[in-house]
Amino acid sequence: MAGNNPNSKPMNLTLKVWRQKNFQSAGKMETYQVKDISPEMSFLEMMDVLNEDLLRKGIDPVAFDHDCREGICGTCSLYINGRAHGPERGTTTCQLHMRKFSDGDTITIEPWRAGPFPILKDLIVDRSAMDRIQQAGGYISVNTGGVPDANEIPIPKDIADKAFDAATCIQCGACVAACKNGSAMLFVSAKVSQLALLPQGKVERKTRVENMVAQMDKEGFGSCTNIGSCAAECPVGISLENIAKLNREYIGAAFTSENV
Amino acid sequence: MILDSKIPEGPLAEKWDKHKFNVKLVNPANKRKYDIIVVGTGLAGASAAATLAELGYNVKAFCYQDSPRRAHSIAAQGGINAAKNYQNDGDSVYRLFYDTIKGGDYRAREANVYRLAQVSVNIIDQCVAQGVPFAREYGGLLANRSFGGAQVSRTFYARGQTGQQLLLGAYSALNRQIAYGKVKLYPRTEMLDLVMVDGKARGIVTRHLVTGKIESHSAHAVILATGGYGNVFFLSTNAMGSNATAAWRAYKKGAFFANPCFTQIHPTCIPVSGGYQSKLTLMSESLRNDGRVWVPKAVGDNRAPQDIPEDERDYFLERKYPSFGNLVPRDVASRNAKQACDEGRGVGTTKLAVYLDFADVIKRDGADKVAQKYGNLFDMYAKITGEDPYTTPMRIYPAVHYTMGGLWVDYNLMTTVPGLYATGECNFSDHGANRLGASALMQGLADGYFVIPYTIGDYLAQMPSTRVETSHPAFKEAETALKASVDRLLSINGTRTVDEFHKALGQIMWDYCGMARNAEGLQFAKQEIRKLRDEFWRDVKIVGVNEELNITLEKAGRVADFLELGELMVDDALNRNESCGGHFREEFQTPENEALRDDENYTYVAAWQYTGDNQQAVLHKEELKFENVKLTQRSYK
């Protein structure tokens, strides 16, 4: 069915999927077969096919998080064949397409695995710990109204671009899932960097980094040991430089802040 | 009932200022005695929730997503308009107002649109103060681009993800208020009913999507910022979870639904590739700034695009609209693509696509320069289709993208239910029959940051701060009715899945109430929808129970509502015997196949009142008065 290349053959696949009724229950891997999967399908459309099939058989469909299916909302997750968001670099699960797989493949599908991300059902985990870190300081304290004209705050383009690169984080949690320590440093560093780079964010830079790191620790995320799996698996390419920046901000704040 | 739009008296440019002075204020010390429910945490919801909390109200914010930051505003790509005139190219509040009214094909309210243009400038200031990283020039000031056919550069943007950056700004403001304890957040929670006490909106009933718990929440006012209803069509650029349930259930409690047939079909989407397709992906229409749209001149020309010589290609937008060319408004571009495909000149294996070709600009500026501008869009296209747009023209086809219709609101954004407000895409008010590019983000944030915080105070100041307990019989009744409807869904135990029904509905809507409509088709569609709805309630298959995370049960409730809303859209399209904007009735067109409005008979907002299940909705008309703009035939030639 491909646009200009109609020579793509449907595939039959074996899926090994983590099933877990809820947080309290024990889970286990189940094996399912899916047939006639078009290479043009997205990975989640393949999961839709599985679910329609299960539903017709009266079996509870596999619950997985997804929403925009455009790679921007950060809702989708999935550990696919041992990789966060699957085998393709720089790609969320929803943008992964079945042409990356071959007929007869066995695909293992698991939820994000990290202490602070409890499983709610099957492949869905609770990522609200990330929201709570944002609530601890991921903002500039301005109320609506009474702000200066936008062009009264000139920002050098290279700084603005750097802040933008950090701001592209979609808060999916792949960095945490990919990390052997379950560290959220890449995620936290993205927000800290973005706001510390911008003149508007400088006023609160010390308290922000202290509060966000304190909340991160409180949620039980692990420590960073500079392996870099997080950046390797990040679907939007958040750079490790941000972690270096976070460390600098944190140490700087510790030496100079009156809040410590 | 006579619809009172409550448009303030006086000259257009003074209405909002005067109104802001005339509205009653709630004393700062009293604001903490009032509770406000905000449903939805996209641009319109998060901005409203944060701002109202900053003012001192107690806010409860609800979203079905696991985090407020995932609302579908996040997927907006292109940009946000504002009448800053930073480019010194002749823009002004009046020009943005005029363009929006004209772009909407003269079916929007002058006063609302003028206010939108006025506050647009404040939005940019606000977002920059929050740290939103808009594109900048080397001098450090903000960059702009021209967008969606505008003759001035008034669009602010953040690469191809303006929606995400603006939403993260609003989300950060919301987070700050959550930390202060002024906003209580309810994620993974879906509003399933509106509760009225003494004729006023006083709360909602929700279902928690993980535990299934049905719960009541009471407040002094309720704001719906729940987005549009494009997923009626099954395939759209909306998120999978985007739904009309909150708005629809409010409609059933007395909120009128306005102009439901006004839906926007966006011209530059990646075409459908097969029956398994779950959603459609839009590519920013900024691509039309440099891409050239064409199909083969000959019917049934199956050659690869590079084998079709220049003189056998039809660049149909450039041919028919020499002055706007590929930059005609969305409705015009979409209709022309459909026409080319209907003539048998579509491309790709499905023949439901046209080319968007970048060969000329790549030749002129080089692939590197093109990559700088559109790299992320080209990558996205390649990821989805497996084709390289640098060497092969993109294939595009129109897809449902935005709904201009929505809950009827007055100038204060209040629906016909006292105390119930609707903001953003959820209301009908600003875009008429067609929305201009980069105006959705503007409207969502205008409503949330700068309109509702003033207008809701006027209502609250006139009511006592006494709270209604959720033990009130009105809440208990609503909970009981909701549980009964959930039980009814679970007890059907039929043979067809929810998605099968949803796809069937989508196909009917797309075929008969999509880019082109006619009376005969619409009448047929109405019967088909009724039949399908009937079958749904007899034969839908849902497994599991309420007291769990149950994805089919969630979907079933939403599709049940789409099956009703679809019929109202058809009714509205049948009623409107004219073509305007996104509503193209084949019987009403000019000899050049352009939309033919009937200003004498249809210069009104069609607001529909619910009268009972399977009953004909009742039409109420709000006449639109144009005191500042002269109605003309839109021409992009």
Dist CA B515 CA B339 (whole Å): 10
Interface residue B551 vs chain A (CB under 8 A):
yes
Residue found under tokens 């033990």: B471
d(CA B374, CA B380): 10
- Site of tokens 């119930």: B420
- CATH number, domain of A167, equals 1.10.1060.10
Nearest Cα of chain A lies from the Cα of B630 at a distance, in angstroms, of: 33
Check residue A259 and give its pLDDT: 53
For chain B, positions 93-132, list CB contacts with chain A under 8 A.
122, 124-131
Which among A121, A156, A186 is the end of a domain? Answer: A121
Chain segment B579-622, per-residue pLDDT in tens = 999 999 999 999 888 899 999 999 999 999 999 999 999 999 99
Residue B416's closest CA among B131, B199, B108, B171? B199
- With contacts defined as CB-CB under 8 Å, which chain A residues touch B384? 42, 95, 97
- Among A100, A121, A142, the domain boundary falls at A121
Identify whether A243 is part of a domain.
yes
Residues of A in contact with B140 (CB under 8 A): 154-157, 160
Residue B636 CA to residue B327 CA, distance in Å, equals 9
**Closest by Cβ to A4, choosing from B168, B185, B392:** B392
Q: How confident is the model at residue A257 (pLDDT cuts 50, 70, 90)?
A: low
Taking the Cβ of residue B281 and every Cβ of chain A, the question of whether any pair is shorter than 8 Å is answered with: yes
Q: Are residues A156 and A197 in the same domain?
A: yes
pLDDT at residue number A258 = 63
| Residue A67 covered by a domain | yes
**Across residues B311-320, what is the average pLDDT?**
96
Q: Stretch A77-103: mean pLDDT, rounded? A: 97
Please report the DSSP string for B309-356 in residue order: -GGGEE-HHHHH-TTTGGGS-HHHHHHHHHHHHHTT---SSSS--EEE
Residue A232 located in a structural domain: yes
State whether A113 and A150 are in the same domain.
Answer: no
User: pLDDT by residue (tens digit) across A137-150?
Assistant: 999 999 999 999 99
Tell me the average pLDDT of chain B.
Answer: 96
At B1 the pLDDT is 76
pLDDT digits (tens, 9 = 90+) for A48-61: 999 999 999 999 99
Measured CA to CA, the distance from residue B457 to residue B220 in angstroms comes to 11
Say whether A89 sits in a helix, a strand or coil.
coil
Q: Flag whether residue B301 sits within 8 Å of chain A, measured between CB atoms.
A: no
State whether A21 and A111 are in the same domain: yes
Query: Does residue A79 lie in a domain region?
Result: yes
Ordered by where they begin, the domains of chain B are 265-401 (3.90.700.10), 484-623 (1.20.58.100)
For A180, the token pair is 């052997």
The rounded distance, in Å, linking the Cα atoms of A185 and A228 is 11
Query: Is residue B216 classed as helix, strand or coil in its secondary structure?
Result: strand
Note whether A84 and A194 are same-domain residues. Answer: no
- A2 and B385 in contact by Cβ < 8 A? yes
DSSP per-residue letters across A236-247: T---THHHHHHH
Look up B330 and say whether it is catalytic. yes
For residue B150, what pLDDT is reported?
Answer: 82
User: Is A117 found in the same domain as A136?
Assistant: no
A53 and A79 assigned to the same domain: yes
Beginning with the edge strand found earlier in the chain, give each strand of the sheet holding B618-623 in spatial order: B406-407, B257-258, B604-609, B618-623
What pTM was computed for the model? 0.97
Chain A residues with beta carbon closer than 8 angstroms to that of B134: 150, 160
B243 Cβ under 8 Å from any chain A Cβ: no
CB contact under 8 A, A70 and B75: yes
Number of domains in chain A: 2
Å between A118 CA and nearest CA of chain B: 13
> Same structural domain for residues A110 and A33?
yes
Complex confidence, ipTM = 0.96
Q: In whole angstroms, what is the distance from residue A192 CA to residue A158 CA?
A: 17
A35 touches chain B (CB under 8 A): no
Same domain for A148 and A103: no
Query: Which residue on chain A is closest to B453 by alpha carbon?
Result: A144
Contact B133 A136 (CB under 8 A): no
pLDDT in tens, B192-229: 999 999 999 999 999 999 999 999 999 999 999 999 99
The answer to whether residue B50 neighbours chain A at the CB level (below 8 Å) is yes
In a domain, A6, yes or no: no
- Which of B:135-164 have CB within 8 Å of A? 135-142, 158-159, 161, 163-164
Q: Residues B493-498: what's their mean pLDDT?
A: 96
CB contacts < 8 A (A, B) = 237
**Taking CB atoms and an 8 Å limit, are A150 and B84 in contact across chains?**
yes
Q: Are strands B604-609 and B257-258 parallel, antiparallel or unpaired?
A: antiparallel
Same-domain pairing of A86 and A154: no
Q: Which of A121, A146, A176 is the last residue of a domain?
A: A121
Give the separation between CA B553 and CA B413, rounded to whole angstroms. Answer: 32
Residue range A4-47, pLDDT digits in tens? 444 479 999 999 999 999 999 999 999 999 999 999 999 999 99
Give A 178-207 residues with CB within 8 A of chain B.
194-195, 198, 200-201
Q: Is B609 on the interface with A (CB under 8 A)?
A: no
Pairing, β B58-62 against β B183-186 = parallel
In a domain, A2, yes or no: no
* Residues spanned by the domain of A115: 11-121
- Tracing tokens 């204020």 back to the chain, one arrives at B25
Provide the CATH number for the domain around residue A65. Answer: 3.10.20.30
Chain B residue numbers with beta carbons less than 8 Å from the beta carbon of A91 are 383
Statement to judge: residues A149 and A92 lie in one domain? no
**Same domain for A140 and A234:** yes
> The tokens 């590079």 sit on which residue?
B306
Rounded-to-integer distance, Cα B462 and Cα A235, Å: 51
Query: Whose structure tokens read 């989640």?
Result: A44
Which sign, positive or negative, has the C-alpha torsion B444, A169, B280, B229? negative
Residues B317 and B333: their CA atoms lie apart, in Å, by 7
Identify from A144, A172, A200 which residue to disrupt to test chain B contact, counting B C-beta atoms within 10 A and taking the largest count: A144
- What does the DSSP 8-state code read for residue B446? I
Contact B541 A163 (CB under 8 A): no
**Looking at residue B594, what is its pLDDT?**
86
395-424 in B: which are within 8 Å (CB) of A?
A: 395
| Model confidence at B323: pLDDT above 90 | no
Contact of A160 with chain B, judged by CB distance below 8 Å, is answered with yes
β A79-80/A28-37 pair status: unpaired
Are both A166 and A115 inside the same structural domain? no
B69, B107, B109, B330: the catalytic one is B330
Residue A226 lies in a domain: yes
What whole-number distance in Å separates Cα of residue B227 and Cα of residue B231? 11
End-to-end CA distance of chain B: 42
Nearest alpha carbon to residue B144 among B606, B252, B135? B135
Q: What is the pLDDT of residues B66-112, one digit of tens each?
A: 999 999 999 998 899 999 999 999 999 999 999 999 999 999 999 99
Q: How many CB atoms lie within 10 A of CB B27?
A: 9
Q: Confirm or reject contact between B518 and chain A (CB < 8 A).
A: no
Contacts (Cβ under 8 Å, ≥6 apart) of A183: A175, A176, A221, A222, A223, A224, A225, A230
Name the amino acid, one letter, at A7.
N
Q: Which of residues 220-249 of A touch B (CB under 8 A)?
A: none
> Looking at beta carbons, which residues of chain A come within 8 Å of B544?
60
Q: Is residue A85 part of a domain?
A: yes
Task: Kindly state whether A72 is in contact with chain B, defined as any CB-CB distance less than 8 angstroms.
Answer: yes
- How far A51 CA sits from the closest chain B CA (Å)? 10
- Cβ neighbours of B380 in A, within 8 Å: 70-71, 95
